[in-house]
Amino acid sequence: MESGKQRKWTLGKVLRSWQLYVLLLPALVWLLLFAYYPMYGLLIAFKDFKGKMGIMGSPWADPIFKHFEAFFSTSIAVNAIWNTVSISLLTLVVGFPVPVVFALLLNQIQNSRIRRSVQTISYAPYFLSTVVIVSIISMLFSANGLVNGLITATGSKEIFFTSLPEWFRPLYIGSSVWQTMGFNAIIYIAALVGISPEYYEAAIVDGATRFQRIMRIDLPLIMPTVILMLILNVGNIMNVGYEKAFLMQNSMNTTVSELISTYVYKVGLQQAQYSFATAVGLFNSVVNFILLLIVNLVSKRFSDISIF
């Protein structure tokens, strides 16, 4: 935290720091052009945007929430919102505990070379692109792929994983967990390394089993980190990456794979309904941001941990 004396800044101070501002300049230009200029563009959600007239010149929508109302009156709206919320909640419920458990168990491996090798291997999927991940899914789970090969070998009938709507979520979530487990565990593993050995020594003297040491020492001590990560995750609940859903989407599974973000892409860029798509996207961002604020507030109240 900065102390009070640095708070008071004068013109002289600003001028004396001009070189620091020059160092900041490229990032500030980026911030202006690619972060806040698009936010200004959100105005078109309340306008009838015409390319030739520009953002300012286009007429205001009448009524002002016209595009939002139009979205909610489509049959897709409820479905897309439901799909977005359910897939991210499921990903969170299934995927969030996995890296924590992985870190706790990995920490119990005593041979440091094995421990480090397993950790290194666990990062690998993180470096694969979404396209590669979805390609691997389609290879392993295709009609004549490995998984169906194993299924038919046991005498069962093959399952068309990639086209059956009920398999979209399991594949989506399973591959996400597979991809991010190792990377998300880094932070917990680091927190575990930082635990003072005295705790373990005392616990061993008291006759605590390994399992008890995990539950009574490791877990409570990494809890603040876990909660912080949970806030960040919950605060992004509506921000489901469209890339993966878009890539896994096909005409057979749209009932579950159409998310708000994929819908925005389709209407916005493929059908060029800019104002309408921006309104849908804005709705999504605002709901997400409100959720983040609520989670942050709740956590601040009960655990004193917050991101702002």
Partner 1 sequence: MKSIAKKGGPARQSAGDRTFTIVNCIIMTLVTLVIVYPLWYVLVASLTDPVIVNSGKLLLYPESFYTQGYARAFAYAPLWTGYRNTLVYTVTGSAIALICTIPAGYALSRMDLPGRRGIMFLFTFTMFFNGGIIPLYLVVQNLHIYDSIWAVVLPVAVSAYNLIVCRSFFESGIPVEMLEAAKIDGCDDFTFFFRFVIPLSSTIIAVMCLFYATSLWNMFFNPLMFLSGKEKMPLQVVLRDLVLTNQATTITSSAEEIAMRQKLAEQLKYCIVVLAAAPLLIVYPFLQKYFAQGVMLGAVKG
DSSP annotation string for 246-277 = HHH--TTTHHHH--HHHHHHIIIIIS--HHHH
Taking the complex as a whole, the smallest distance from the CB of residue 13 to partner 1 amounts, in Å, to 5
Binders of partner 1 in range 80-119 (CB under 8 A):
102, 105-106, 108-110, 112, 118
Binders of partner 1 in range 188-247 (CB under 8 A):
190, 195-197, 200-201, 204, 209-211, 225, 228, 235-236, 242-243, 246-247
Nearer to partner 1, 30 or 82 (CB): 30
In the numeric block, the tokens 């020059």 are attached to 22
Stretch that binds partner 1, among 12-20, 58-66, 79-87, 88-96 (CB under 8 A): 12-20
- Contact between 21 and partner 1 by CB under 8 A: the answer reads yes
Taking the complex as a whole, the smallest distance from the CB of residue 148 to partner 1 amounts, in Å, to 6
Cβ atoms of 222 and 188 within 8 Å: the answer is: yes
Cβ atoms of 41 and 55 within 8 Å: the answer is: yes
Taking the complex as a whole, the smallest distance from the CB of residue 73 to partner 1 amounts, in Å, to 20
Annotate 77-127 with three-state secondary structure. HHHHHHHHHHHHHHHHHHHCHHHHHHHHHHCCCCCHHHHHHHHHHHHHHHH
Taking the complex as a whole, the smallest distance from the CB of residue 121 to partner 1 amounts, in Å, to 6
Q: How far is CA 205 from CA 211, 212, 216, in A?
A: 15, 13, 14
Which residue in 77, 265, 266, 287 binds partner 1 (CB under 8 A)? 265
Tokens of 225: 């980190």
Stretch that binds partner 1, among 63-71, 73-81, 86-94, 276-284 (CB under 8 A): 276-284
Nearer to partner 1, 2 or 62 (CB): 2
- Contact between 74 and partner 1 by CB under 8 A: the answer reads no
- Contact between 55 and partner 1 by CB under 8 A: the answer reads yes
- Contact between 154 and partner 1 by CB under 8 A: the answer reads no
Which residue in 76, 85, 92, 138 binds partner 1 (CB under 8 A)? 138
Coil, strand or helix at 60: strand
Stretch that binds partner 1, among 28-36, 61-69, 78-86, 164-172 (CB under 8 A): 28-36
Handedness of CA 160, 163, 164, 170 (dihedral sign): positive
Which residue in 86, 156, 250, 303 binds partner 1 (CB under 8 A)? 250
Q: In angstroms, rounded to a whole number, what is the distance separating the alpha carbons of residues 194 and 66?
A: 54
If we measure between CA atoms, which residue out of 24, 28, 61 comes closest to residue 43? Answer: 61
Instruction: Kindly give, in sequence order, each residue whose CB lies less than 8 Å from that of residue 208, ignoring residues fewer than 6 positions away.
Output: 216
Which residue in 73, 75, 154, 251 binds partner 1 (CB under 8 A)? 251
Taking the complex as a whole, the smallest distance from the CB of residue 230 to partner 1 amounts, in Å, to 13
- Contact between 152 and partner 1 by CB under 8 A: the answer reads yes
Nearer to partner 1, 85 or 128 (CB): 128
In the numeric block, the tokens 């392993």 are attached to 140
Stretch that binds partner 1, among 68-76, 79-87, 89-97, 143-151 (CB under 8 A): 143-151
Long-range contacts of 291-294 (CB under 8 A, 24+ apart): 291/234, 291/235, 291/237, 291/238, 292/231, 292/234, 292/235, 292/236
Taking the complex as a whole, the smallest distance from the CB of residue 42 to partner 1 amounts, in Å, to 6
If we measure between CA atoms, which residue out of 31, 71, 61, 70 comes closest to residue 284? Answer: 71
Taking the complex as a whole, the smallest distance from the CB of residue 302 to partner 1 amounts, in Å, to 18
